[in-house]
C-alpha cells in the first residue's frame, strides 16, 4: 500500500507570496493532519481535517488554512508568507477509527518551504 505523499518536496518563495501544499493520504485514511516542524519550535500542530471538515485547529494565524476533498486528499495554503514560515511541513493521515483500539498516524516525507 502506498504511503502518504506530499508535493512539492521543496519550495522556495519570497516574502508576501502565497503557497499551496498538497497531501495524498494512505488509501482508506479519512483523517489528515498538518504539522509545521522547525528546529526552534519542534513539531507544531496546524490543523486536522476529517470528512472534508476542519475538525481540530492548532494555534496558528489565519494566514494558514487548509481544505480536504471528497477523496480525502488535502491541501494547505499559507498566504502573505513571512521569513518565519520557513519550515518542514508534514502531513499525516490515519484511518479515523471510532472503535476497536487505537488509530495510528502515518507521516509523509514533508515539504521543505524556504521563504526568502
Q: Which stretch binds another protein (CB under 8 A): 14-22, 38-46, 63-71, 77-85?
A: 38-46
Whether residue 105 contacts residue 3, with contact meaning beta carbons closer than 8 Å, is answered with no
Output the nine-digit C-alpha cell for 113.
518551504
Among 11-19, 61-69, 74-82, 100-108, which window interacts with another protein (CB under 8 A)?
Answer: 100-108
CA distance 84 to 104: 30
In angstroms, the CA 93 to CA 74 distance is 10
Q: Which stretch binds another protein (CB under 8 A): 11-19, 59-67, 77-85, 95-103?
A: 95-103
CA distances from 37 to 26, 64, 76 (A): 21, 14, 15
d(CA 54, CA 38): 23
DSSP 19: E
23 binds another protein (CB under 8 A): no
Confirm or reject binding of residue 96 to another protein (CB under 8 A).
yes
Q: Which is nearer to another protein, 47 or 81 (CB)?
A: 47
List residues near another protein by CB under 8 A: 4, 6, 31, 33, 35, 42-43, 45, 48, 50, 55-56, 58, 88, 90, 92, 96, 98, 102-110, 112
Amino acid at each position: 500500500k502506498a504511503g502518504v505523499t506530499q508535493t512539492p518536496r521543496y519550495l522556495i518563495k519570497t516574502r508576501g507570496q502565497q503557497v499551496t501544499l498538497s497531501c495524498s493520504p494512505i488509501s482508506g485514511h479519512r483523517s489528515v493532519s498538518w504539522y509545521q516542524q522547525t528546529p526552534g519550535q519542534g513539531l507544531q500542530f496546524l490543523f486536522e481535517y476529517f470528512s472534508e471538515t476542519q475538525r481540530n485547529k492548532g494555534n496558528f494565524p489565519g494566514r494558514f488554512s487548509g481544505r480536504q476533498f471528497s477523496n480525502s486528499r488535502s491541501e494547505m495554503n499559507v498566504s502573505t508568507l513571512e521569513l518565519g514560515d520557513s519550515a518542514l511541513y508534514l502531513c499525516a493521515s490515519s484511518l479515523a477509527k471510532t472503535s476497536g483500539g487505537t488509530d495510528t498516524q502515518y507521516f509523509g516525507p514533508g515539504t521543505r518551504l524556504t521563504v526568502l
